[in-house]
Amino acid sequence: MSNGNSSYDLIIIGGGPAGLTAGIYAARARLKTLLLEERLPGGQISTTEYVENYPGFPDVIKGRELTQKMEEQSKRFGLEILSLSKVIFLKDAAVGFEIRLINKKSYSTKTVIIATGASPAKLNIPGEKELIGRGISYCATCDGPFFKDKKVIIIGGGNAAIEEAMFLTRFASKVLIVHRRDQLRADKVLQEGVLKNEKIELILGSEVIKIIGKSKVEGCIIRNKKSGDENEMAIDGVFIYIGSVPNTNFVKGILKLNEKGYIVTDNELQTSLPGIFAAGDVRENKLKQVAVAVGEGALAGVSAQKYLEEMKNKNL
């Protein structure tokens, strides 16, 4: 554990698969490295019940188990991990960078890797804000057991939505998948599983426009996008999977971001500020998957090491 006011070769912000992999590579290179994680190491994937498309695990593996193995491996090489450490400030210092946490502790570092990932996107419809945690959830793996023998809705049509819908059938009596398009976007193998499950019903070409309830979710209003017809339906829970928003608030105005707020990098994963790199879901890329995050974490770790070596040679 670090005591603050310390200097490092590299500080990694974010403890998901990208950050942990970067930590493994940096620690093996004998860089003095600290990983700062706002919650606990693991990232979004740790809330996923099973991961079935990560190479090397033919019988699938639980998301939390996979990230625990990554964490254990990184610690074996000497990576320092500081959990419950939210970064609120990052600035270019005279030599390297200064990073400040919400608890006012500060750290200096020669290089930075940002691997803060992304958070679930909100629908921003009436009833959502008021009923979060009262029947509205963004994590079926976390909250699924609370809906035993209940009727729930999954909003979304990608892999995450379909995977979590399948998981919810363990508890719920009925799972409705509402998707605004006329067909799902999930991988075909996942769609095949949905079609075979008697507990799941598809409501395509539609959107939830309001969530109803006082102290808890009691229903919702679904609108058909083509006809405009609205249907009020009694429901016990709503699970929302409509994409993600990058966790980049603390670097706005410091690094170049694209129109959606993701960090822009070059092929070496260096950002617009030399010495700062980005990897994983926080970065502008086309595929948000664990395998991609791990690969980018490895590249970012090596790129940071290369940058430090170049700086050292310049100063000789």
Domain match, 229 and 285 both? no
300 in any annotated domain: yes
Residues 230 and 263 in one domain: no
Range of 290's domain? 6-119+244-314
* Residue 298 confidence (pLDDT): 98
Residue 81 lies in a domain: yes
Q: Write the pLDDT tens digit of every residue in 75-103.
A: 999 999 999 999 999 998 878 999 999 99
225 and 285 housed in the same domain: no
C-alpha–C-alpha distance, residues 211 and 232, integer Å: 10
Domain boundary residue, one of 240, 265, 290: 240
Same domain, 252 and 233: no
Q: Where residue 85 sits, what CATH number does that domain have?
A: 3.50.50.60
- Statement to judge: residues 76 and 145 lie in one domain: no
- So what's the pLDDT on residue 1? 42
pLDDT at 107: 95
pLDDT score of 316: 67
145 plus 279 within the same structural domain: no
Residue where a domain terminates, one of 240, 272, 295: 240
Q: Is residue 215 part of a domain?
A: yes
Q: Catalytic site residues?
A: 139, 142-143
> 32 phi and psi, to 5 degrees?
-75, 110
**Residue 194 sits in the same domain as residue 97:** no
Q: How many CB atoms lie within 10 A of CB 178?
A: 23
Same domain, 115 and 140: no
For residue 2, the model assigns a pLDDT of 46
Bridge-based pairing state of the strands 80-82 and 33-36? parallel
Structural domain tally of the chain?
Answer: 2
Classify residue 149: in a domain, yes or no: yes
Q: Is the same domain home to 112 and 256?
A: yes
In a domain, 1, yes or no: no
Position 43 in a domain: yes
Q: Are residues 53 and 195 in the same domain?
A: no
The pTM is what? Answer: 0.83
User: In this predicted structure, what is the pLDDT of residue 63?
Assistant: 87
- Residue ranges of the chain with per-residue pLDDT less than 70: 1-5, 316
Query: What's the pLDDT at 95?
Result: 80
Tell me, yes or no, whether 255 and 106 share the same domain: yes
**Residue at 55 is within a domain:** yes
Domain boundary among 193, 221, 240: 240
Q: Are residues 202 and 252 in the same domain?
A: no
Which three-class secondary structure string do you get for the chain? CCCCCEEEEEEEECCCHHHHHHHHHHHHCCCCEEEECCCCCCCHHHHCCEECCCCCCCCCEEHHHHHHHHHHHHHHCCCEEECCCCEEEEEECCCCEEEEECCCCEEEEEEEEECCCEEECCCCCCCHHHHECCCEECCHHHHHHHHCCCEEEEECCCHHHHHHHHHHCCCCCEEEEEECCCCCCCCHHHHHHHHHCCCEEEEECEEEEEEECCCCCCEEEEEECCCCCEEEEECCEEEECCCEEECCHHHECCECECCCCCECCCCCCECCCCCEEECHHHECCCCCCHHHHHHHHHHHHHHHHHHHHHHHHHCC
Token look-up 């990694």 returns 12
96 part of a folded domain: yes
Residue 47: name the closest of 35, 34, 65, 29 by CA.
65
Q: Burial of 73 by CB count in 10 Å (0-12 exposed, 13-18 middle, 19+ buried)?
A: middle
